[in-house]
Every structure is written in C-alpha cells, then in structure tokens.
Chain A
Amino acid sequence: MADKATFRIWRGGNGTGHFVDYATAISPGMVVLDAVHGIQAADANDMAVRWNCKAGKCGSCSAEINGKPRLMCMTRLNTLDLSVPVTVEPMKTFPHVRDLVTDVSWNYRVKTKIQKFKPRKPDAPDGTWRVQQADVDRPQEFRKCIECFLCQDVCHVLRDHNLHEEFIGPRFLIYTAQLEMNPLDTGDRLKDLKDRDGIGYCNITKCCTKVCPEEIKITDNAIIPLKERVVDEFFDPLGGLFKIIR
C-alpha cells in the first residue's frame, strides 16, 4: 500500500460546489472515513461530514465513493484503486446541505405515514403473545436495517425520476414488509402499498440489495413478496374467485 492517496471530495453547500483534491497519509487497515477525518484535521477543518459509530451500525456516514453508494466507515482503502483519486460525494437523492452532508429528513416524514404495528389480542392472560421463531425469521431480517438510506439513494425511481411524492423507496418497503409479515400484526397495508406508496414503481433492478451494508435481500425477500401480496389482492381474479369458493 502506498503512503499517500488522493481523495477528490465534493465541497460546497446547497447543491453547488466542486471537487477538491486532498492528498493524505494512509496506512494499512484504514477506511475512507479515516482518510476523510485525516483530511478534515490537517487540510480542511471546515469540511462537513456526518459520522458516529465508525462500525457500520449507525448509518450516518453514507456517501458515494467512486460513484457507488457506500458507508465511508465500512469501505476499506485496500478495496479501492489508490493509483487514481478516490471520489467522495454526498448522496444525490436527498437535498444537499454542505460538503458530504445531506438532509435525509424526508425519510422520517415518510415513515410517519406508514400504518403502525397493530397486534392481535394477547395470547396469554398476562397480556403477552406466543410466537414461533420460524414465523419471525422473515421480519427479523428486515430489522437489521440501520437506516443508512443508501438503498434510497441508489434507487433510480427516487434518484433519477424524483418520484418522492409517489414512491416510499426500498427502505420503507422493507419496513412495511416487516410489519406485514409479522405474525402478530393485523394491519392491512396493501391498498396503501399499491396506491399511495407506489410499489408498482419498483422495477426490480436490485440496486438497493447491492448497496445494503447489512446484506438484507431487499428485493427478493421484501419487495417482491409485497408485490405478490398486492397481486393477490388486486390483480389475480382467479385467486380471488378461489378464495370466495373456499
């Protein structure tokens, strides 16, 4: 590994700005966030970067490294070609605040609109429930989500088509799947999924799955099963007839 590497970092505020090259010392074991912190300490004290845990669990340091949405704290330098400058940009799907920081608050507003968990009546007199592990395996996969919003960033429906008004994005489709597949939940979110949340906009390109740092199979295990449930309810006349007969 070379002693120094160049990082081409987006500097500016509110969507305007330009790339600035910074050469910084590197050593084995470093991640991109370490290098950004080194640059911040030595060359750019005013550079804005959001981070917290440095362990891939808080989801704060999301950015685009060499054009790919990734966590800076989980991108080791030895996985990058350091013979050329490494570009580090803010996420493009959300409003830019400054340097590497974007305003992701839209996501929290979306979450408030999704129908909340609505459990069935408690199974036991003490007000608790009994569930089998086999029945919670599926929703538990989705609980691994750290809300880094990299999946929202890479989703072309939001990124390229700006359909934030009509599509909740992969993060909130897995959140909905987590609730819909919960064996205790009695809520019905299928009409919302079809009409308000725009599940039909997803065209299954699996970009969200590819960037997920928790390796959640977003498309295969959450979005497609939800699409199938929407088909059950609204697009399958034979299935509907079968349900009536049965």
Chain B
Amino acid sequence: MSSIDVPLKKGGFGTTSRTDNWWAEPLLVFLGYMSFIVYATWAALQGNNYLCTAQCGGADYLSPMYSPLLIEQAPAWWPAFLPFSAAMLILPFPGLFRFTCYYYRGAYYKAFWADPISCSVGEPRSSYRGEKKFPLILQNVHRYFLYFAILFVFILLYDGYKALWFTGPDGAKHFGIGVGSLVLILNPILLGGYTFGCHSFRHLVGGMKDILSASPVRKTAYDCAGCLNRSHMKWAWVSMFFVGFADVYVRLCAMGIWHDWRIL
C-alpha cells in the first residue's frame, strides 16, 4: 500500500468540530440494546409463565423466548451452579445471529465500544484491529447463525398457527383468534422481515453471482431480499422489541395480570 504522512493532529476521545447532537444516536442505541438485554436475561432466568393455556381460554400461547419448548428440565450435563430454563438453550442462537449481524455490529461498535462513537468524532484508543484479526474475525460466522435464524422463523410461524386453536369445553381444538394469536403471528412475520433482509441471506440467494439475469428465480429472490435489506435497521429494531413484547404479553396473561381478549 502507498504510504502517507498525515501531519494534522487528531484530537482525543470525543474531540470534534461537529455542532449537532452526535452523542444522541449512540446513547439511544446503547439504552435500547441494554434494555432488551436486561429484560431478555431476566425473562430467560424465570423459567415460568412462558406458556399461557388455561388463563388464555384454552389457547396455546408460547413465549418466543422459550420456543421450541424441547427441554423443560435441566439436562444431566448442565452445570449445577448455573440456573436453568428452557430459554437458555434457545436464546443463544437468535442472540448470536443478532450479535454477528452487520447492522448490529456497526451499531454496537459505536454505542458500546466507541470505535468510533460517532462519525468524525475522536476515539478513546489508538490501537485498532477491526474485524481483520482475532477476536472480531469470528464475526464471519454470521451466515451459520442465519441458518438457525431461518429455522426459528418457521418454528415461530408454527407457534403462531397453534395460537389459533383453542381447547373447548369438549376437550377438542377449535379455531379462534385472540389478541395473543395476532401477537404470536405478527412476531414471526417481523422476524422474517429481519431475517430475509439479512446481508448474508441476500448474498446467498443471489449476491454471490455476477450474472443474475440467467436465473429469474434467483433474481427475484435477490430483489426481494434487497427490498427488505433497504430497511434492515428498522426490521432489526422492531422485530427485537416485538419478541420482548410477545414474551411480556404471554407472561402477563399467564400470570393473570392481563386477560387475553378473544376476537373470534
């Protein structure tokens, strides 16, 4: 690479000539992520009120943080000092999908690591490794978590479908719609908007090719992913908070604090 001598002095952390509220965006991102991380950790540690049935008129509402509900009791290999709940085996997958997501990476490098805290604002550290070296080179694993995330979208869609069936007095399942049904159907739709707009997904369905016109299916898939990708940040935020809201909804209904309103 060509060498360069840059004599202009750089300022220290936070030094900038910017006159706008450059600190507001990283602060909001920090607060937004922290609030979700704190709530999700708390909810995952509870291990109860994640399934609403009798309190929801015979519905089958399962919190997305506990889906798929495969193991309810701690397996034998689980370390005794660690609290266990079904969510703790599930959340790492969508959690790591988001952690390695290109949008989230850019956002938390700014908000949590100040690298940089905002554009054209001085940084706290002079050394820099980026994603070229360990440990952040591991972010390249993103597409593997994408595969899990796609699986989760379909699992949660199935949960949404199950939320449309209510156990009647006769013990049989009857079709119905409650507010909880809508919440649990909307949740995977929002997650799908986020997952299928993922940069890695867009790459895998067509971005890797220089010639897309030869395959109309691939071209259509690429265009659709690109369409979702243009609002990837919005999908990321809305879907993240809606997962939290869906858990809150199921939890409060299961606790009897909220009552599920049956629409149909």
**Residues of A that sit less than 8 Å from B by CB:** 14-15, 64, 66-69, 81, 84, 87, 89-90, 92-96, 106, 109-110, 113, 132, 134-135, 154, 156-157, 159-168, 180-183, 185, 196-207, 210-211, 219-220, 224-225, 227-229, 231-232, 235-236, 238-239
State A109–B4 Cα separation when bound (angstroms).
Answer: 10
State A93–B137 Cα separation when bound (angstroms).
Answer: 26
B146 → chain A closest CB, angstroms: 11
Q: Which residues of A contact B136 (CB under 8 A)?
A: 203
CB proximity to A under 8 Å, residues B166-200: 199-200
State A180–B208 Cα separation when bound (angstroms).
Answer: 10
How many interface contacts (CB-CB < 8 Å) are there between A and B? 169
Contact of B4 among A68, A106, A185, A196 (CB under 8 A): A106
B224 → chain A closest CB, angstroms: 14
- Asked if B229 is at the interface (CB within 8 A of a chain A CB), the reply is yes
A sample of 12 cross-chain residue pairs with beta-carbon separation below 8 angstroms, ordered by A number, consists of A134-B219, A156-B123, A163-B128, A166-B1, A203-B105, A204-B103, A204-B105, A205-B110, A206-B106, A207-B116, A227-B102, A228-B143
Q: Is the CB of A156 within 8 A of B133?
A: no
- Asked if B23 is at the interface (CB within 8 A of a chain A CB), the reply is no
Q: Is the CB of B6 within 8 A of A228?
A: no
CB proximity to A under 8 Å, residues B118-145: 119-120, 122-123, 126-128, 130-133, 136-137, 140-144
SS class, residues of chain B in contact with chain A: loop
- Please, which residue of chain A has its CB at the minimum distance from the CB of B107? A205
Count contacts on B: residues with CB < 8 A to the other chain.
Answer: 55
- Residue of A185, A219, A224, A238 with most chain B CB atoms under a 10 A cut-off: A224
Q: Is the CB of B4 within 8 A of A236?
A: no
B44 → chain A closest CB, angstroms: 28
